[in-house]
Amino acid sequence: MTIYLSFIENLSLAIILAFGLVLFAPALCSSALAEDSHHADAKNPWTAETALQALKDGNERVVKGTPIHPNSDQTTKTRLAQEGQFPLAAILSCSDSRAPVERIFDLGFGDIFSIRVAGAVPGVDELGSIEYAVEHLGTPLAMVLHHTQCGAITAAVMGANESDNINSLLKHLDPVSKLVEKLPPEKRVAAAVATSSVYFRDRLTTLSPVLANAVKEGRLKLASGVYDISTGAVSFDD
Ligand SMILES: [Zn+2]
């Protein structure tokens, strides 16, 4: 009998807990969203123009060999943890270890909402990440950054056959490969790199109605460029 009662008690407790979870889970979620909305409502101090200038100035310091490594101290990290992030740009760039975004632009913690994937291709996850930065963090600039000697672009242009997952990623680069297929083979990779940034920058608004709307409303500007891995210089497309 005692065992039976104990079972009933445990069952009741389980039911109460289950109901509690059902009742409170939405509250927990909405509280997380509320915190997020709070960040979205607060004003991101950057404009597309000041953000683009910060990227250009930072890269110029890198090329000159005079980086200042801003926003890298403990005070910055504490402030970001307490007040949230207001990145100046969302940058879609390649995973290549020779192209670390914050180092390229001499920026620090909280400055760039960085989306890195081999070939800097805008798949759904990458688009969703850019949308998050624009809609929830008020980021006014989205940039597509490719780089010289990109392995992913080389593989795509040369028609490499890799694993299923790599092939799936390379498929995003098919349109770019097509654009350069009539060029002499030795010129195709460089041309594809130069073409990719502009091509994918322009594709962002085609692939994402959210980004298209943000551009239309004047909340977002798009930029693109190519990073030269040997000199450290970024050439911005304008
Ligand atoms: Zn690459």
DSSP 121-133: ---HHHHHHHHHH
As residues whose CB is below 5 A from the ion ligand 1, the structure lists 94, 96, 150, 152
Q: Quick check: 157 pLDDT over 70?
A: yes
Ligand 1 mean position, distance from CA 119 (Å): 5
Do the beta carbons of residue 73 and residue 119 sit within 8 Å? no
Q: Are 147 and 226 in contact (CB under 8 A)?
A: yes
Residue 95 CA to ligand 1 center (angstroms) comes to 6
CA of 147 to the centre of ligand 1 (A): 6
Count of CB atoms within 10 A of residue 107's CB?
27
Whole-Å CA distances, 199 to 53, 92, 120, 147, 148? 22, 13, 11, 14, 16
Decide: 228 and 197 in contact? Cβ < 8 Å. no
Strands 221-227 and 234-237: antiparallel
Is it the case that residue 32 has pLDDT exceeding 80? no
Residue 58, exposed/middle/buried by CB under 10 A (0-12, 13-18, 19+)? buried
CB 219 within 8 A of CB 136: no
pLDDT of 108 higher than 90: yes
Is residue 139 pLDDT above 50, yes or no? Answer: yes
Average pLDDT, the chain: 88
Residue 35 has pLDDT above 80, yes or no: no
Strands (E), 15-57: none
CA of 233 to the centre of ligand 1 (A): 15
From the CA of 232, how far away is ligand 1's center (Å)?
14
Going by C-beta distance under 8 Å and a sequence separation of 6 or more, which residues neighbour residue 226? 145, 146, 147, 148, 193, 194, 197, 234, 235, 237
What average pLDDT does the segment 80-98 reach? 98
pLDDT range class, residue 42, cuts 50, 70, 90: low
Calculate how far, in angstroms, residue 11's C-alpha sits from the geometric centre of ligand 1: 56
Cα 198 to averaged position of ligand 1 atoms, centre (Å): 15
CA of 167 to the centre of ligand 1 (A): 15
Instruction: Write out the H or E segment, with its range, that includes residue 143.
Output: strand 141-147
Lowest-pLDDT range of 27-31, 40-44, 104-108, 228-232: 27-31
Nearby residues of 123 by Cβ (< 8 Å), 6 or more positions away: 117, 169, 172
What token pair was written down for 148?
A: 């010289």
Strands across the sheet containing 89-93:
112-116, 89-93, 141-147, 221-227, 234-237
What's the predicted TM-score (pTM) here?
Answer: 0.83
Indicate if the pLDDT at residue 14 is higher than 70: no
Task: Give the model's pLDDT for residue 238.
Answer: 78
Indicate if the pLDDT at residue 41 is higher than 50.
no
CA of 148 to the centre of ligand 1 (A): 8
Average pLDDT over residues 189-215: 97
pLDDT surpassing 70 at residue 130: yes
Distance (angstroms) between ligand 1 centre and the Cα of 230 equals 14
C-alpha dist (Å) from residue 147 to 5, 17, 88, 95? 69, 53, 21, 10
CA pair distance 178, 135, nearest whole angstrom: 33
Stretch (H or E) spanning 214 = helix 209-216
